[in-house]
Amino acid sequence: MTTDRIVFREVSKFYGEVLGVNRVNLEIAPGLTGLVGPNGSGKSTLMHLMTGLLHPSRGRVEVLGVPTDRPEELFRLVGYCTQYDTFPPGATGRSFLREALSLHGVGRDEADARALESLRTVGLADAAGRRIAGYSKGMRQRAKLAHAMLHDPRVLVLDEPLNGLDPVGRSEVMDVVARLAAEGRHVVVSSHILHEVDAVSDSVVMIHGGAIVAEGEIRAVRGELTRHPIQVLVRCDDPRRVAALLFGLPHVVEVRVLDTDDGLLVRTRDATSLFRTLTGLLVDAGVEVETVAPADESVHAVYDYLIGGTGGAA
Amino acid sequence: MTVPPRTVRGRQLRAIARREASRSLAGRRLLPLGILAILPVVLAVLRAVFLPESRAADVSGGVAEFSQVFWVFILRIVVFFSAAHAFVKTFRSEITDETLHWSLMAPLRRRELVIGKFTGAWIATSLVLAASTAATWALYLVPHSSHLGDFLARAGVVHLVRYLVVVVVACAAYGAIFLLMGLYFRSPMIPAVVLLGWEALTPFLPAALKSLTVVNHLAALLPVPVQLGSFAVASTAPPAWLAVGALVACVVVFLAFAVRRSRRLEVSYSAE
């Protein structure tokens, strides 16, 4: 099996009669992968399967060639920030991380120094000696992130890592996540704040009802959806004239001039042909163009289409 | 410098055991263990206070009384329920506190996790219950203090050491059983009561079935033979080496099942 991928082969997970995920086939490459789906869609189940906290009812999961039923190897590679907001009773920030390092086989003195360093990295150095039970939600989230990154893992799995963080914290976390992904690590992130993941994701996995509904690079995923029209925003100085020209093209479904009268939205079944013909059309008409861009390539819009919604402009 | 895998595993095992021992000896988890451990001490204090002066010279009576208290109360109630509490909690408390995932996310084999937790809980229960037993034993002898010279010179310390060995071995044997129960049952109370009933039946079981009880092997290690009552089925106690061997085998077998079970552990708190 591929040793630089996270691989799911025909993976199903049932909780008794209830379906968790169903026949998942997935390969996750290095870089930042956004995991998108509504509550109860199976995101956390997929992440638990990836980290061996759940065992597949059927199929097989391997992380960089390591089966997930070998925690002694798996958790040298993987750091996991779960959604659970619970900590060992009585733990302080420092003792929590020191204990985690000692379970990695790190000696006491080194573990203590590294724990403090990690807390400094996530901005919790001043609260190192305080009990985690007394931390704010955002501080607990930072402690979990510090735990996940403590052993410098090659694979980082973050389940809703931005929960409880203020805007500055969110931005800091996403910067760290993007940097780690740029270093060639696997970073898998799920989040409710999709545009933040969208902005830095290399690829996206969309899950709904326990099944993967789409995966790949966001633009490519959108391109695969030929049965759904794509929406393109054209900002120009004469939108009504452009609209009249575009109506004549066979693959254009709808053209709508913006209320601000400084552009138009074009819905087409063949984005490639539209982009190809649009340039020549606009030059010939002598229209001054400011922007031509896909208007709904955000994960939100793609996801809406995929699960049967109406889609929408960004 | 790369640390050899055996050194890493040793450190991990010690870390788990240390963590489990400190958890067993702190906070809410200590309370039932502490209460159980103090009960025989309170009993011994009351006896020391209210023992008639006329019985002060009866050292052998005091020794026999302690042996009965040890057999009926300390071993069958205090050690049994302390082990039930401490060892069931090793995994079960992490499931109910929703903190099991921290243990399962450690890069160590489930074998080390189970053995580390067992060792930590064993150390904690052995320390508390050995201290309780030693204190109770001493308090049983206090009213006879002016007549103890001969007993102490002849057998006193050996008696105490053997009682302590029985406590430590009992913690291990019952502990392994209860650790496994904690992995299988959400509420291990019913299987624990069944085990208690089975252990209580020991005197009345035929020899072949007696060998399947923990308490029968523990009885073979006691310094003073136990009075089982007139309805007990007579049988020859196994030699001490065989009793210890059987109890060690019991620990190994139950821990092996626990390791096997732990490999299937999942984090699914909502299902609990």
Whole-number Cα distances in Å, B265 to A52, A146, A295? 10, 25, 46
- List the single residue in B with minimal CA-CA distance to A18: B271
B97 vs A80, A86, A103: nearest CB? A86
Q: Give the rounded distance of the alpha carbon of B212 from its chain centre.
A: 17
Identify the CA nearest to A152 among candidates A180, A112, A119.
Answer: A180
Of A86-100, A131-145, B11-25, B231-245, the range with the lowest mean pLDDT is B231-245
Whether the per-residue pLDDT at A281 is higher than 50: the answer is yes
Q: Is B15 on the interface with A (CB under 8 A)?
A: yes
Whether the per-residue pLDDT at A1 is higher than 70: the answer is no
Q: Is B31 on the interface with A (CB under 8 A)?
A: no
Q: What is the dihedral of CA A204, A209, A213, A214, to 10 degrees?
A: 0
Residues in Cβ contact with B257 at an 8 Å cutoff, skipping those fewer than 6 apart:
B180
Residues in Cβ contact with B169 at an 8 Å cutoff, skipping those fewer than 6 apart:
B218, B221, B244, B247
pLDDT of residue B248: 96
Contact by Cβ (8 Å): B232, B153: no
The pLDDT tens digits for B38-64 are 999 999 999 989 888 888 778 788 888
Cross-chain Cβ contact B263/A69 below 8 Å: yes
Identify the CA nearest to A31 among candidates A186, A215, A204.
Answer: A186
Confidence bin at A38 (pLDDT 50/70/90): confident
Whether the per-residue pLDDT at A205 is higher than 50: the answer is yes
- Check residues A19 and A132 and name the one with the higher pLDDT: A132
> Distance between CA atoms of A123 and A169, rounded to whole angstroms?
10
pLDDT of residue B226: 78
| Domains in chain B, number | 1
Chain B: closest CA distance from residue A25 (Å): 22
> Distance between CA atoms of B266 and B252, rounded to whole angstroms?
24
pLDDT of residue A170: 80
Ordered strands of the A186-190 beta sheet: A78-81, A155-159, A186-190, A31-36, A203-208, A211-216
The whole-number average pLDDT for the span B243-263 is: 96
Whether the per-residue pLDDT at A143 is higher than 70: the answer is yes
Contact by Cβ (8 Å): A34, A195: no
- Check residues B28 and A77 and name the one with the higher pLDDT: A77
In chain B, what residues touch A82 (CB-CB under 8 Å)?
101, 267
In chain A, what residues touch B27 (CB-CB under 8 Å)?
89-90
The whole-number average pLDDT for the span A151-178 is: 87
- What is the span of the domain harbouring residue B52? 5-271
pLDDT of residue A290: 82
In chain B, what residues touch A151 (CB-CB under 8 Å)?
107
Cross-chain Cβ contact A86/B98 below 8 Å: yes
Q: Could you tell me what percent of chain A has a pLDDT over 90? A: 45
Whether the per-residue pLDDT at A312 is higher than 50: the answer is no
Whether the per-residue pLDDT at A314 is higher than 50: the answer is no
The whole-number average pLDDT for the span A96-109 is: 92
Confidence bin at A225 (pLDDT 50/70/90): low
A105 vs B11, B26, B266: nearest CB? B11
Q: Is pTM, for the whole model, over 0.90?
A: no
DSSP A24: E
Residues in Cβ contact with A72 at an 8 Å cutoff, skipping those fewer than 6 apart:
B107, B108, B109
pLDDT of residue A293: 78
Whether the complex's predicted ipTM surpasses the cut of 0.90:
no
Confidence bin at B272 (pLDDT 50/70/90): low
Q: Is A106 on the interface with B (CB under 8 A)?
A: yes
> Distance between CA atoms of A201 and B222, rounded to whole angstroms?
69
DSSP B92-132: HHHHHTT-HHHHHTSSS-HHHHHHHHHHHHHHHHHHHHHHH
pLDDT of residue B33: 95
Whether the per-residue pLDDT at A192 is higher than 70: the answer is no
pLDDT of residue A309: 57
Residue B211 token pair: 């060998």
pLDDT of residue B172: 98
| Best residue in A103, A132, A150, A154 for a mutation probing chain B (most B CBs within 10 Å) | A103
- Check residues B260 and A228 and name the one with the higher pLDDT: B260
Of A87-96, A139-148, A195-204, B174-183, the range with the lowest mean pLDDT is A195-204
pLDDT of residue A226: 60
Whether the per-residue pLDDT at A195 is higher than 70: the answer is no
The whole-number average pLDDT for the span B261-266 is: 94
- Check residues A73 and A274 and name the one with the higher pLDDT: A73
Of A53-67, A159-173, A216-230, B111-125, the range with the lowest mean pLDDT is A216-230
The whole-number average pLDDT for the span A53-67 is: 96
pLDDT of residue A313: 36
The whole-number average pLDDT for the span A102-125 is: 92
Contact by Cβ (8 Å): A75, B106: yes
Specify which residues A81 forms β-bridges with: A158
Contact by Cβ (8 Å): A88, A97: no
Q: What is the mean pLDDT of chain A?
A: 86
- List the single residue in B with minimal CA-CA distance to A147: B102
Whether the per-residue pLDDT at A132 is higher than 80: the answer is yes
Terminal Cα-to-Cα distance of chain A (whole angstroms)? 39
The pLDDT tens digits for B184-206 are 998 888 999 999 999 988 888 88
| Best residue in A69, A72, A152, A156 for a mutation probing chain B (most B CBs within 10 Å) | A72
Whether the per-residue pLDDT at A224 is higher than 90: the answer is no
The whole-number average pLDDT for the span B95-121 is: 95
Q: What is the mean pLDDT of chain B?
A: 90
Backbone angles phi, psi at A146, to 5 degrees: -60, -40
pLDDT of residue B133: 97
The whole-number average pLDDT for the span B78-90 is: 95
B264 vs A55, A73, A151: nearest CB? A55
The pLDDT tens digits for B146-168 are 777 777 778 788 999 999 999 99
Residue-wise over B96-108: b if at least 16 C-beta within 10 A, else e?
eebbbbbbbbbbb
Whether the per-residue pLDDT at A288 is higher than 70: the answer is yes
Chain B: closest CA distance from residue A80 (Å): 8
In chain A, what residues touch B266 (CB-CB under 8 Å)?
48, 53-55
pLDDT of residue A33: 93
Whether the per-residue pLDDT at B110 is higher than 90: the answer is yes
pLDDT of residue A310: 47
Helix (H, G, I), strand (E, B) or coil at A118: helix
